[in-house]
């Protein structure tokens, strides 16, 4: 039997990013099983990049190579962003490679709209995405409803999806190479401290992080300051492994909080000899004491920094690890610290819930809620007093207890996050999927927003009927199992049949608008020629809602005419199901041209007459149809 072909889409496996490492470990594992034909589709590389031919599997870049498309996306930042996520080449790679399985590993907005593509439900499509905050975005809901299998990296995200009626979710964190991080011997730890001129009896609290505003540096400094006040003889130091030129202005924060800068350590990295040095922050472009190079040291950063082995040493310089943050998808430094058998303190929100428990060898940090503007996401403000108290807990912890908790932490990560653990679970999921029997015919099957369902008492059968006859899904129970379950749940909680029916109609209209290129007259009924009225109101939602009060009067005055209502796709749900509207069609500016709409001379046009309630005679010459018909609205009937 031929092997299943799997298309994996994310950052290139050689990129030093979280998604890149994810791809590296997963691709290597799947390749080594010998069970699959593998194709990598990598963001950030051009389609025909010659360097992609050196891998043991097929690999193509997601960026377009066609010159005309390159010019188009370079001229528009929005299009450029879509191109970087593969939106311009995704259909090409599907047509060319004909995969049985598609796996997208990316933030949900990077794949937005893929689940509406023709091929999405014809093959086995999987999304593996980080979710870092609640409430879930509408696009999370839409993606999960339209995808057979969604993989999330944290249990809080899985719980939130299950609470919304989705049972097609799987919990799998980013797979980690656990061999890179481990606890060093007591002697090696002492040697490391001597090398970096650190007191052997110092109590060092560590934090490894990208200096982003969602990392709660001010809260951590407040908690550290409280601990110093309570334990002035503790010889406590705080090691911040980060780049000091982005994000938080840490020197300024230290001044505001009256913390001695000598107690705040950081990592310097030399570009020349590639050695690192742990010492108090003293600016950038420092001289390297190891190789003597001038101005070669800078604080560690993503593009230039320590190796995995060196980072392991840095964790082993710490006595405990504290990760205070507002939210996160997985926060890999937490797991790396646990692999080094450090007792970890973690904000007990978002992915932190998985790593703050006793079972994970962690200690929870309390937090209070605030909201992110725009998204309304719940974010965590970590309590500085809780940070102080948990640092104190570790400081006073008996060595045997600390050692046992550290060993538990390492075992938890191996069981939950290791390459073998995660990738074997993913491999088992792939085993449940059949090879695709689709012929990869990309011709579009028009959907039917005007279908009226029969009386069907059972909700499941009624929903299946909508999928079959409105959305034209051949086998809903196979292709739409998660969607069917979702709508059954919604009907039992917060939706009516009418609202679900209207939603399906809107999806069909939007899909037809996007995919159908047939002539405009094909959207109109052939048997009502000469008896059509076009009512044009592209926006705003309040105006559209108010306009529906006029439709009965128009229909009463012209009972033999069909009213076609033209509006923008995002507003169709407002007028769907209105008994006086024959058909909702997508607005186009040309509809406001009466010569095109109603005709003139030898040109017949499409409608008997057109109503433009949002325009006036200064914008459009709407007196041109005055000798055909006129509508004088009787406000007593409106």
pLDDT one-digit tens code per residue, 132-154: 999 999 999 999 999 999 999 99
Identify whether the C-beta of residue 521 lies closer than 8 Å to the C-beta of residue 597.
Answer: no
Percentage with pLDDT > 70 across the chain: 95
pLDDT in tens, 299-326: 998 778 899 999 999 999 999 999 999 9
More confident residue, 591 or 186: 186
| pLDDT for residue 573 is more than 70 | yes
Burial class (CB in 10 A: 0-12, 13-18, 19+), 94: buried
pLDDT at site 603: 66
β-bridge mates for residue 126, sequence order: 103, 149
> Average pLDDT of 258-275?
97
Q: Is 94 helix (H, G, I), strand (E, B) or coil?
A: helix
Q: Where does the pLDDT of residue 474 fall: very low under 50, low under 70, confident under 90, or very high at 90 and above?
A: confident
> Domains in the chain, ordered, with CATH?
4-175+425-431 (3.40.50.11930), 178-417 (3.40.50.2000), 459-515 (no CATH), 520-625 (3.40.50.2000)
| R_g of the chain, CA atoms, integer Å | 31
Rounded-to-integer distance, Cα 234 and Cα 205, Å = 12
Pairing type for strands 378-382 and 367-371 reads: antiparallel
Identify whether the C-beta of residue 226 lies closer than 8 Å to the C-beta of residue 257.
Answer: no
| pLDDT for residue 615 is more than 70 | no
Identify whether the C-beta of residue 323 lies closer than 8 Å to the C-beta of residue 242.
Answer: no
- For residue 631, what are the contacts with CB-CB under 8 A and spacing of at least 6? 554, 557, 611
Rounded-to-integer distance, Cα 466 and Cα 451, Å = 8
pLDDT at site 535: 95
Classify residue 462 by its DSSP letter: H
pLDDT at site 469: 95
pLDDT at site 627: 47
Q: Is 350 helix (H, G, I), strand (E, B) or coil?
A: coil
Identify whether the C-beta of residue 325 lies closer than 8 Å to the C-beta of residue 210.
Answer: no
pLDDT in tens, 72-120: 899 999 999 999 999 999 999 999 999 999 999 999 999 999 998 989 9
| pLDDT for residue 175 is more than 90 | yes
pLDDT at site 122: 92
Two tokens, residue 158? 């899985």
Instruction: Tell me which H or E stretch contains 57.
Output: none
pLDDT at site 442: 85
> Average pLDDT of 269-284?
96
More confident residue, 624 or 102: 102
Rounded-to-integer distance, Cα 416 and Cα 437, Å = 35
pLDDT at site 517: 59
| pLDDT for residue 334 is more than 90 | yes
Which ranges in 246-356 belong to alpha helices (H)?
250-256, 308-316, 332-339, 352-355
- Maximum alpha-carbon separation in the chain: 99
- Residue for token pair 């999370």: 140
Q: Give CA separation, 25 vs 178, 237, 421, 480, in Å.
A: 11, 35, 12, 31
Two tokens, residue 344? 């970890």
- Residue for token pair 């339209």: 146
Q: Where does the pLDDT of residue 447 fall: very low under 50, low under 70, confident under 90, or very high at 90 and above?
A: confident
pLDDT in tens, 204-219: 999 999 999 999 999 9
> Average pLDDT of 514-536?
82
pLDDT in tens, 250-263: 999 999 999 999 99
Least confident window among 243-252, 307-316, 520-529: 520-529
Q: Is 610 helix (H, G, I), strand (E, B) or coil?
A: strand
Two tokens, residue 321? 């690890």
Q: Of 508, 511, 578, which is closest to residue 550 (Cα–Cα)? A: 578
| pLDDT for residue 625 is more than 80 | no
Q: Where does the pLDDT of residue 622 fall: very low under 50, low under 70, confident under 90, or very high at 90 and above?
A: very low
Rounded-to-integer distance, Cα 307 and Cα 522, Å = 63
pLDDT at site 289: 95
Pairing type for strands 362-365 and 344-347 reads: parallel
> In which region does residue 178 sit, left (phi positive, over 0), alpha (psi from -120 to 50) or beta (all else)?
alpha
Identify whether the C-beta of residue 385 lies closer than 8 Å to the C-beta of residue 223.
Answer: yes
Please give the mean pLDDT across all residues of the chain. 91
| pLDDT for residue 626 is more than 50 | no
Kindly report the number of other CB atoms within 10 A of residue 80's CB atom: 14
Least confident window among 52-56, 165-169, 600-604: 600-604
Count how many residues are written for the chain: 638
| pLDDT for residue 559 is more than 90 | yes
Q: Is 348 helix (H, G, I), strand (E, B) or coil?
A: coil
- For residue 175, what are the contacts with CB-CB under 8 A and spacing of at least 6? 22, 25, 26, 29, 417, 418, 419, 421, 422, 423
Rounded-to-integer distance, Cα 246 and Cα 266, Å = 14
Instruction: Tell me which H or E stretch contains 28.
Output: helix 18-33
pLDDT at site 634: 47
Least confident window among 265-279, 458-472, 521-535: 521-535
């Amino acid at each position: 039997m031929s092997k299943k072909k799997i298309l994996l889409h994310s950052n290139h496996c050689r990129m030093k990013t979280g998604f890149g490492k994810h791809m590296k470990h997963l691709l290597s594992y799947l390749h080594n099983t010998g069970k699959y034909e593998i194709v990598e589709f990598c963001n950030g590389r051009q389609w025909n990049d010659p360097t992609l031919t050196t891998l043991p599997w097929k690999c193509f870049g997601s960026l377009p190579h066609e010159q005309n498309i390159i010019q188009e996306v370079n001229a528009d930042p929005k299009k450029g962003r879509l191109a970087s996520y593969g939106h311009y080449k995704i259909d090409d790679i599907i047509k060319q490679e004909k995969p049985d399985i598609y796996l997208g590993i990316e933030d949900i907005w990077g794949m937005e709209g893929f689940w509406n593509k023709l091929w999405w439900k014809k093959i086995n499509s999987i999304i593996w995405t980080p979710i870092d905050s609640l409430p879930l975005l509408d696009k999370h809901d839409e993606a999960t409803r339209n995808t057979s299998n969604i993989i999330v990296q944290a249990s809080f995200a899985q719980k939130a999806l299950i609470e919304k009626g989705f049972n097609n979710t799987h919990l799998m964190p980013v797979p980690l190479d656990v061999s890179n991080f481990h606890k060093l011997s007591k002697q090696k730890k002492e040697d490391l401290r001597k090398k970096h001129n650190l007191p052997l009896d110092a109590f060092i609290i560590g934090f490894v992080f990208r200096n982003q505003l969602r990392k709660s540096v001010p809260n951590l400094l407040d908690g550290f300051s409280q601990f110093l006040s309570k334990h002035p003889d503790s010889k406590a130091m705080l090691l911040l492994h980060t780049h000091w030129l982005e994000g938080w202005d840490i020197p300024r924060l230290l001044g505001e909080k009256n913390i001695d800068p000598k107690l705040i350590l950081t990592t310097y990295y030399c570009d020349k000899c590639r050695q690192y040095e742990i010492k108090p922050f003293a600016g950038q472009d420092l001289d390297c004491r190891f190789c003597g190079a001038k101005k070669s040291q800078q604080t560690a950063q993503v593009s230039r920094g320590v190796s995995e082995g060196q980072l392991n040493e840095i964790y082993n310089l710490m006595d405990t690890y504290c990760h205070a943050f507002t939210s996160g998808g997985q926060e890999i430094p937490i797991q790396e610290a646990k692999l080094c058998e450090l007792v970890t303190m973690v904000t007990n929100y978002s992915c932190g819930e998985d790593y703050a428990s006793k079972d994970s060898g962690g200690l929870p940090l309390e937090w209070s809620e605030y909201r992110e503007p725009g998204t309304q996401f719940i974010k965590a403000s970590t309590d500085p007093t809780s940070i102080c108290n948990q640092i104190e807990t570790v400081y006073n912890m008996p060595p045997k207890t600390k050692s046992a908790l550290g060993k538990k932490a390492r075992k938890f990560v191996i069981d939950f996050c290791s390459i073998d653990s995660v990738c074997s679970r993913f491999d088992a999921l792939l085993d449940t999927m059949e090879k695709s029997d689709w012929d990869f015919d990309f011709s579009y099957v028009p959907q039917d927003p005007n279908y009226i369902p029969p009386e069907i008492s059972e909700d499941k059968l009624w929903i299946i009927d909508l999928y079959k006859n409105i959305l034209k899904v051949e086998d809903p129970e196979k292709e739409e199992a998660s969607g069917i379950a979702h709508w059954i749940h919604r009907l039992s909680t917060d939706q009516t049949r009418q609202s679900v029916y209207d939603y399906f109609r809107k999806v069909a209209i939007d899909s037809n608008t996007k995919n159908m290129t047939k002539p405009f007259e094909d959207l109109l009924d052939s048997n009502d020629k000469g008896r059509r009225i076009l009512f044009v109101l592209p926006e705003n939602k309040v105006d559209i809602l108010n306009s529906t009060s006029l439709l009965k009067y128009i229909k009463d005055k012209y009972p033999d005419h069909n009213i076609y209502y033209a509006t923008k796709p995002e507003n169709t749900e407002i007028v769907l199901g209105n008994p006086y509207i024959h058909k909702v069609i997508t607005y186009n500016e040309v509809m406001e041209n009466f010569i095109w709409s109603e005709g003139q001379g030898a040109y017949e046009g499409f409608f008997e007459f057109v109503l433009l309630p949002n325009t006036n005679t200064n914008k459009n010459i709407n007196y041109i149809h005055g000798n055909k018909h006129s509508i004088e609205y009787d406000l007593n009937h409106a």
